[in-house]
């Protein structure tokens, strides 16, 4: 029970459930050269993220950012939800499109994040 309480403290604010949003996890987007040992694993120590080919470049950060993408085995494409939301890994709990210190509303921040456009580079 203690670990579940600790995980709740690790949650960053985000309107995922309220807005039925899966922007952060469909696909999972992380900085290029993300360490393999940071990819979350399941109870059987199997990685739950499967790497996609190519890179994404945010159009508003074209000179500075390259993102690798992954498919998460816990993501249900038919519902747009995590199959194990309550027990999701810490890295997922910490992901958020909301900056608590921002003066913008949650709705404004969410809209900005999810409306971002990408250039796709294939390997």
Q: Domain extents for the chain?
A: 2-121
Backbone dihedral angles phi then psi of residue 115, each to the nearest 5 degrees: -90, 0
C-alpha 38/C-alpha 48 separation (Å) is 11
- Higher pLDDT pick, 123 / 31: 31
Cross-strand bridge partners of residue 28:
25, 70
What is the reported pTM? Answer: 0.82
Burial label, 16 (beta-carbon count in 10 A; 0-12, 13-18, 19+): buried
User: SS3 for 101?
Assistant: coil
Task: Please write the tens of the pLDDT for every residue from 39-86.
Answer: 999 989 999 999 999 999 999 999 999 999 999 999 999 998 999 888
Q: Which two tokens stand for residue 2?
A: 């203690």
Sole residue written with tokens 């393999």: 36
């Amino acid at each position: 029970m203690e670990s579940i309480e600790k995980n709740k403290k690790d949650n960053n604010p985000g309107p995922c459930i309220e807005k039925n949003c899966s922007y952060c996890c469909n696909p999972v987007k992380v900085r290029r050269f993300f360490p393999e040992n940071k990819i979350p694993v399941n109870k059987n120590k199997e990685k739950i993220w499967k790497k996609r080919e190519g890179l994404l470049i945010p159009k508003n950060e074209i000179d500075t950012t390259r993102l690798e993408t992954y498919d998460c085995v816990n993501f249900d494409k038919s519902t747009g939800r995590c199959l194990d939301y309550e027990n999701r890994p810490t890295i997922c709990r910490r992901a958020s499109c909301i900056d608590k210190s921002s003066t913008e509303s949650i709705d404004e921040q969410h809209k900005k994040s999810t409306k971002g456009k990408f250039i796709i580079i294939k390997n």
